[in-house]
Amino acid sequence: MQNNKLLRMDNVGIVVESLDNTISFFEEIGLQLEGRGMVEGEWAGRVTGLGDQQVEIAMMATPDGHSRIELSRFLKPAVTSDHRTAPVNALGYLRVMFAVKDIDGMVARLLKHGAKLAGEVVQYENAYRLCYIRGPEGILIGLAEPMENQ
Comparing CA positions, the residue from 50, 32, 29 lying closest to residue 40 is 50
Cβ neighbors of 9 (< 8 A, separation 6 or more) are 67
> Taking the complete model, does pTM exceed 0.75, yes or no?
yes
**Contact present, 118 and 88 (Cβ < 8 Å):** yes
What is the C-alpha separation between 43 and 122, in angstroms, rounded? 46
**Contact present, 73 and 15 (Cβ < 8 Å):** yes
What is the C-alpha separation between 72 and 50, in angstroms, rounded? 14
The CA angle 12-17-21, to the nearest 5 degrees, is 85
pLDDT (tens digit per residue) in 65-110: 999 999 999 999 988 888 877 888 888 777 889 999 999 999 999 9
